[in-house]
Structure 1
């Protein structure tokens, strides 16, 4: 499988998970609004919100595990391709940060509710970028020592 297909597959899975998260958050907001306007009984709203909260936690966890798994696989198989995946992942996160921010402007909801799923993956990508910088610096220093 060529690199473009792998990147497309990687981004597709990120988009699906992020889209599901945002969709569930928007649905939770609709339930909260119905509950606030007394159109929904408290126990029904609570049960629905609790179930939706569980699903959003699962999606957050899945995003983090997915990025870790892909990164570890690339560290073993193709270290050079990891840089491209990190860039694509960071760009995807920026896009969903902007989408969450724009939706929060349009719909009366908190920005954090729509971008919360980006915290774990952003931290992981940040750690992997630091790893890449340290690794690259170490390899360059080692190569320099061999030459001299």
Structure 2
């Protein structure tokens, strides 16, 4: 057997990874497992969401606080919770949108993401995640419109 073919099939490992996941990815998976374990006993997902926002660094904390206020104002039927340790908002128990801080996975911008449950369909292709570096009036207006559309 040709050793070159066998070696080519093995996925490349990232430096320092034992199992192919970064430390940040492993931490997110542990947070999700804890969330699932505590879901049945936890009545107030909003308190946990607000605590996660409080732990964020600036400017992500301010953007997450503003997003929370926008959700409360424009999509009040969504319930606050955490998802993989990130602030998230659910409809009928399923995550509809989430906020990922830039520090979460050491990226250069925060992300506002939507799940497939969000009704953002626009033809054959549409965005389901948005980079956020700042949140001014124009961004807030766009987010409010996206939230209203996502909820349907």
TM-score by length of 2: 0.27
**Which protein is richer in helix relative to its size?**
1
TM-score by length of 1: 0.28
Bigger relative contact order (CA 8 A; separation at least 6): 1
Question: Higher Cα Rg: structure 1 or 2?
Answer: 1
